[in-house]
Amino acid sequence: MVIPLSQIDIGEKVRVVWVAGTADMAARLADLGFVPDEEVSCVLKGRPGGMKAYLVRSAVIGLREQNSREIFVRTGGK
């Protein structure tokens, strides 16, 4: 199933399918490692609607809720 990254739970592993949003933001997210077929997991959630931290390419990246809703991922690990 494909869902926004913002909907995954802590510890859940997913794979990026595509990144929506403006070209500038999609390029910035790609620079951070959010590219198709890259594995991502959620490592920390703040308050609802706030920042969340994701592990991607051995780095922990903090994203705003708005940005994590623009990244679509496939659930089920591989």
pLDDT of the residue at 36: 97
Cβ atoms of residues 13 and 39 within 8 Å: yes
For 41, the domain range is 2-74
Question: What span, in angstroms and rounded, lies between the C-alpha atoms of 1 and 76?
Answer: 8
Q: How many domains does the chain have?
A: 1
**pLDDT value of position 21:** 87
CATH number at residue 13: 2.30.30.90
What pLDDT, on the 0 to 100 scale, is given for residue 47?
Answer: 86
Q: What is the pLDDT of residue 12?
A: 96
pLDDT in tens, the chain (78 residues): 999 999 999 999 999 999 998 999 999 999 999 999 999 999 999 888 789 999 999 999 999 999 999 999 999 744
| Buried residues in 46-74 as b, exposed as e (16+ CB within 10 A) | eeeeeebebbbeeeebebeeebbebbbbe
